[in-house]
Amino acid sequence: MANLNREQWLMAAVDHITPIFESRGYAVPQVKVSVGFPSTGGKGRHLGQCWSSKAAEDNINQIFIAPHLKTPLDFLDTLVHELVHAVDNCESGHGEGFKKIALDVGLKGPMRSAGAGDFLKQDLIRITEKLGAFPHGRLNLPIRTAQKAPKRPGAKCAKCGYEVVMLKKHLDLGPPICPKDMEGMEEVGEWEI
């Protein structure tokens, strides 16, 4: 299938994948598929996203597959996952409704990241061979670095070095009592605030 752009290739893939769903009793609704970042942006871990037909003016499910995937098989694997959402019209999230369809069509693993099981993977390999090369140049995204949370303000006792985090809601209580000052004290009654 020469001279297809990415979206045409993916829509042809939907045509090849649809019989897998139909053989398990599921109708794939009309969808539009594009390569693009999910609503979480390029820094998220999401590989794909399906939008409900209710969210679209034309009442057609919209699927986006992240441009940093590597192989045609990666795109098809993600496409099947997102088509499960389209069949469910995004009603179940990754809950029971999604899980039933996903397992029936051959996905496995934790449902949030369910991917092709062995048999489905073989079907997808055959589909990639029929479709030919995927007309896509993979995007290399910047490597995410862990960001440290800002250090919370604290209070430190000058006598013993004991430190506590001072939360906003506790600032009106004042500094804590030094544990050394509490040694030898009799049982303390209720605190007054």
**Are both 121 and 154 inside the same structural domain?**
no
Same domain for 15 and 69, yes or no, is: yes
Identify whether residues 30 and 61 lie together within a single domain.
yes
The answer to whether residues 126 and 86 belong to one domain is: yes
Residues 85 and 157 in one domain: no
141: in domain: no
What is d(CA 33, CA 136) in angstroms, rounded to the nearest whole number? 14
In one letter, which amino acid is 111?
Answer: M
The CA distance from 145 to 103, in Å, is: 35
Does one domain contain both 93 and 16? yes
Domain harbouring 30, CATH code: 3.30.2010.10
Does 167 lie in the same domain as 73? no
Residues 34 and 127 in one domain: yes
What is the predicted pLDDT for the residue at 187? Answer: 52
pTM above 0.85, yes or no: no
Q: Is residue 55 part of a domain?
A: yes
Q: Identify whether 140 is part of a domain.
A: no
Q: How far apart are CA 9 and CA 14, in angstroms?
A: 9
Q: What does the pLDDT read at residue 40?
A: 67
DSSP string over 16-69: HHHHHHHTTT-PPPPEEEEE---TT-TTSS-SEEEE-GGGSTT--EEEEE-TT-
Asked whether residue 112 falls in the same domain as residue 25, the answer is yes
Q: Domain range spanning residue 22? A: 6-131
Task: Confirm whether 138 is domain-assigned.
Answer: no
d(CA 21, CA 99): 14
Residue-level pLDDT at 170: 67
Q: Is residue 97 part of a domain?
A: yes
| Rounded CA separation 109/88 (Å) | 19
Q: Are residues 40 and 80 in the same domain?
A: yes
How far is Cα 106 from Cα 120, in angstroms, rounded to an integer? 5
pLDDT at 38: 74
For the segment 107-139, what is each residue's pLDDT rounded down to a tens digit? Answer: 999 999 999 999 999 999 999 999 988 887 777
Give the total number of structural domains in the chain: 2
Same domain membership, residue 117 and residue 76: yes
Q: Do 35 and 85 belong to one domain?
A: yes
Is 126 contained in some domain?
yes
Predicted local distance difference test score (pLDDT) of residue 185 = 56
Name residues of the chain where pLDDT drops below 70.
Answer: 1-2, 40-44, 142-149, 152-153, 170-171, 173-176, 179-180, 182-193
Does residue 78 sit within a domain?
yes
